[in-house]
Chains A and B, each alone.
Chain A
Amino acid sequence: MNSPIMTGEGLKKYFPAKGGVIKAVDEVDFEIQKGEVLGVVGESGSGKTTLGNMIMGVYPPTSGQIIFNGKPLPSRAKDRPVQMKREIQMVFQNPASSLNPKRSVKQALEVPLKVNRGGQSVRQRVYELLELVELPVEYADRYPEELGGGEKQLVAIARALATNPSLVVLDEPTSALDVSIQAKIINVLMRLKDKLGLTYVFITHNLSLMRNVSDRVMIMYLGKVREVAATEEFFRNPLHPYTRMLLSSIPVVTDAEEAAKPEKIQSMGEIAGALDLPPGCSFNPRCSHVMDVCKTVDPPLLEVAPQHWCDCHLYPKEFKPTPTA
């Protein structure tokens, strides 16, 4: 692989709460290669959104740091130089709240353009951005209430691209949309990635979508990374019992997909409360392969197959443990 555009080292985010701390993100390392789509997959409480927020500098990590293009990234957005802010942008989940209902499409797109003055006229650039996301230029004068959910999301994408970013965090960009519209948005995103050489961090709960979109998949559960692998390898050989449970639970439409699922691990139990995590591996109360060691020792994330990391005591059986980079 070539050089990473962003790496996270020992990232932790603890939120103080009544009766203890919530370990939203706990000791997470990650690497994003230039030009790839990294799928960050998890259910609610997994810490995937907190991770995205730390990349965006919404709040600083409790410890650890993020390196961007070889330089440490200031942990708060307001401490980041304008150039750095422009490089990292975000698309939010809910199309209804990501556009200001009182401002037209043109006004929404003008904000980043006026802040980051370029040589071009603003109007020209607004039209360019709309064409980029495959919307008609007449949409410049429309208000959010006149747009469908998918169209709003395309405008939000255009706004994120206005500063010419190199890395875009996509926080469940299509989960509020119908499948037929999701398909359109995903295709626009993929075309933009190739055209503009973007890197995506795609935060989602939808593994089926990641099968078709991401280059690598990173599974999170209760604040920790549980499994990371290239997409092909990940779906061919899912290792972590949680990953397998997740895969078995996914509702699918065709028989071929049903057959592609790993041995059925029926979902059981609920995600542990963030305040009282079980000792050892925090997945152990729901795990079908639970062993004694799981209840006392938290397993480290190890490279158990080439470029395939997993944090589970079942592994390695025959692999040599090597600490993650």
Chain B
Amino acid sequence: MGTLTHGLGCEGEAVNNLKSGRSLSERYGRYWYKFRRNKLSIIGLAAIIAVIFIALFAPWLSPYPSNAGLFVNFAAAGQAPSGTHVFGTEEIGRDIFSRIMFGFQYSLMLMVVVLSISVAPGVILGLIAGYYNGRGISVVIMRLADVFVAVPPLLLALSVASVLTPSAVNAMLAVSLAWWPWYTRLVYSSSSSIRNEDYVRAAELVGASRWHIMFKEILPNSLGSILTKVTLDCGWVILIGASLSYVGLGAQAPTPDLGTMIAEGAAYLPAQWWISIFPAFAIVVVILGFNLLGDGINDMFSSGIS
């Protein structure tokens, strides 16, 4: 029967009969197929790859690497975009194009740190709450998460950052504190429904441990939605980080940071518009990129073949 063997049964009209031992590469090929069907996802992916590349190689790529730090050149201050300074220069003469390239470094670092601090605890707490759904421990975790969620993340980060001394590290801590409950809620809702699937009941019937059920049966089925949220959140974390910097509670001068740059340029609007607009545009590119990428990842994990 060879290629014709496709299982005893079939469900779903027309899309069945796709069953046969598939190799690993074919399995990933299907993910890629679902991802690339939406052109915007590709654009998002390209934008994010470009941003990461620029951030990593900023010292070599930027036209004026020295402008990243404390550098003063009043002779060139406040110049409009031109051939020598494509995005113009700011009030103390630093090249905005170069500073944006370095600014990506800080944004990406903030994003990586915040998400690595908040995702793991958020996910684990969500798993526990979902597994013990209806029991005391679940209620405690979820009410705690609700308290944090009730406060807008920017406000929470603001208050934390203002209590601590304003610094890049404290900004990251503050944002992380605002972020974990969203993962707890996401994983709670998916795991409490997966909890009732027959395969979880079957594992319980044969005496599998609760850790096995949480991490081997439930978690793998939540991964798709977690990954989608992580991607979408990358943009938001960067935005909140920039907002903190904008009000002076984030990265401090002379660290090149997109939020700080917008804040500094705001005083010169509208005459020297380029000082604020180009960093703002850079933030838009990053956020849009992550959002489009997130949509693509969502498509990848969504069921349905067509």
Contacts and interface: CB of A to CB of B under 8 A. Distances in A.
* Chains A and B touch each other in the complex, with CB atoms below 8 Å apart: yes
Interface of A: 56, 58, 77, 82, 85-86, 89-90, 92-94, 96-103, 108, 111-112, 115-116, 138, 141-142, 145-151, 154, 156, 159-160, 162-163, 177-178, 181, 184
B206 A115 contact: yes
Given A100-B221, A142-B21, A90 B205 contact: yes
B20 A146 contact: yes
B136 interface: no
Given A85-B205, A149-B9, A100 B217 contact: yes
Contacts of B203: 111
Nearest 4 CB-CB pairings of A with B:
A148-B7, A150-B8, A112-B206, A149-B9
Contacts, number: 97
B198 A111 contact: no
B202 interface: yes
Nearest to A85: B207
Given A102-B221, A112-B206, 7 more contacts: A58-B201, A100-B217, A102-B223, A103-B216, A148-B9, A148-B10, A160-B202
A156 B205 CA distance: 12
Interface of B: 6-11, 16, 19-22, 197-209, 212, 216-217, 220-221, 223
Contacts of A181: 8-9
Contacts of A162: 206
A151 B9 contact: yes
Contacts of B19: 145-148
Nearest to B221: A102
Prevailing SS type, chain A contact patch: helix
Given A103-B216, A148-B10, A151-B7, A89 B221 contact: no
Contacts of B201: 58, 90, 92
Contacts of B202: 90, 92, 98, 156, 159-160
Given A100-B217, A149-B11, A178-B9, A138 B21 contact: yes
B21 A89 contact: no
Nearest to A185: B8
A150 B9 contact: yes
Contact of A116 (B6, B7, B10, B207): B207
Nearest to A80: B207
Contacts of A99: 199
A141 B204 CA distance: 23
Contacts of B207: 82, 85-86, 112, 115-116
Nearest to A178: B9
B11 A96 contact: yes
Contacts of B209: 115
A85 B204 CA distance: 10
9 contacts: A56-B205, A86-B207, A89-B206, A100-B220, A100-B221, A112-B207, A148-B16, A150-B8, A151-B7
B8 A151 contact: yes
Interface centre among A93, A101, A162 (most CB of B within 10 A): A101
A159 B206 contact: yes
